[in-house]
Chains A and B, each alone.
Chain A
Amino acid sequence: MAKKAWRFLIQMVILIAIYQIGNVTAWFLHLPIPGNVIGIILLFVLLWLGVIKIEQIEWATGWLLKHLGFFFIPISVGLMTLGNMFVSNGLAFLAILLVSAFIGLLFAGKTTQIVIMKNDKEKVNYHDHAL
């Protein structure tokens, strides 16, 4: 039990360290990219190079991603400070967010699907030709 807790803690410390390295890198190089994004890229590269094995961090990452929603809640509670603004501009905000989300979904989805179809078709044709 204590050994398990210890392992979980170590995995967590690894993730916190990568996150902090990301922060320091962004600050040190004056990058306009947030430290947490550099952290994502760094962890991906470390996994890719095999420096970190997925099993070595999967317990902590699985737990964090399962409860990712939780960490947004205290931030969302900050909405309560914007009450007045929403009373005066709420409908405009909602209209903008609804319409732009639908447009984005349509274009992202349709473009991806068209390119995939085209790719798959070309591969099939090539295959037929080879036969």
Chain B
Amino acid sequence: MITLFSILITISAYYFSRYLGKKYSSPLTNPVFLSTIIIIFLLVISHISFNEYRPANTIMTFLLGPATVALAVPIYKNRELFAKYIGAASIGIIIGILTTVTSAILLAKVLQLPNIFILGLTVKSVTVPVATEIGKIIHGNTSLIAAYVIITGMIGAMFGSKVLNLFKIDHPFARGLAIGTIAHGIGTAEAVKEGEVQGAVAGAAMGIAAVLTSCIIPYIIKYIL
């Protein structure tokens, strides 16, 4: 019964947020962000714990695996654009991952956060399904990692284009690549609004950044902490 209720409010919250987001485009109406707040609010006022919500979670995330695999399609469709700029794209994505992860870890160490919090920062820019999978491999806290990733996506969606403007990064390929590499799917949804090239490149960059991070992080994790 609770599971059915949980699924119902999750789908309703999603459709409501999508509707609102189409009507009032703002980072605050991002479907993931807004739905999460609505659902947590509804669960809290109906005294349902996350443990009781968990069976619904398992059912609804069944298609996340195939949905992640589907990312191969935008990468494949934009393979010619990537082939043309392969050097720039590889360097850009790798520099992006390294600088964002290194700066996050250094800041966390300066602020003296415990290791369990620092571990998750290594995958904060990777799309959620991949980040949580890498999280299991490096023995991180899945919920914490999801939190880092989702908040990072929101930051990229809200301020990404402003940061790029500020530093005069105006090439559409470079803009899409930066947003996809740093702010994964949530950022990509914003990049799509900016332009077709930005959206396509962001989607592909998100996939490539996910592959690169999952190939690099589990091997170097022991040297980071």
Contact of A76 among B85, B146, B155, B189 (CB under 8 A): B146
CB contact between B73 and one of A22, A54, A67 (< 8 Å): that residue = A54
Judged by a CB distance under 8 angstroms, whether A115 is at the interface is yes
The answer to whether A2 has its CB under 8 Å from any CB of chain B is no
Q: Is the CB of A108 within 8 A of B183?
A: no
With A104-B182, A107-B96 as contacts: A74 and B174 at CB distance below 8 Å: no
Q: How many A-B residue pairs have CB under 8 A?
A: 308
Query: Using a CB-CB cutoff of 8 Å, which residues 68-87 of chain B contact chain A?
Result: 68-77, 79, 85, 87
CA gap between A102 and B187 in the complex, in Å: 13
Instruction: Report the Cα distance A119→B174, complex, angstroms.
Output: 13
A100 with B124: CB separation less than 8 A: yes
Interface residues on A, range: 35 or more
Roughly how many angstroms separate A10 CA and B30 CA in the complex, as a whole number? 31
Contact yes or no, B219 A79, CB < 8 A:
no
CB neighbours (8 Å) of A34 from chain B are 130, 133-134, 137, 214
Q: Which residue of A lies closest to B218 (CB)?
A: A32
Task: Give chain A residues whose Cβ lies under 8 Å from the Cβ of B130.
Answer: 34, 36-37
A–B complex contacts, Cβ < 8 Å, 25 sampled = A12-B63, A33-B215, A34-B134, A37-B210, A43-B70, A43-B72, A57-B70, A58-B73, A65-B74, A71-B129, A72-B186, A75-B128, A76-B35, A77-B43, A80-B44, A80-B50, A85-B144, A86-B147, A99-B107, A104-B96, A105-B182, A108-B95, A112-B171, A112-B177, A113-B174
Known: A104-B182, A106-B167; 8 extra A-B contacts, CB below 8 A, are A40-B211, A43-B73, A71-B64, A80-B44, A81-B50, A100-B121, A104-B100, A107-B96
Residues on A close to B: CB < 8 A?
Answer: 12, 15-16, 18-20, 22-23, 32-37, 39-44, 47-48, 54, 57-58, 60-62, 64-65, 67-82, 85-86, 89, 92-113, 115-117, 119
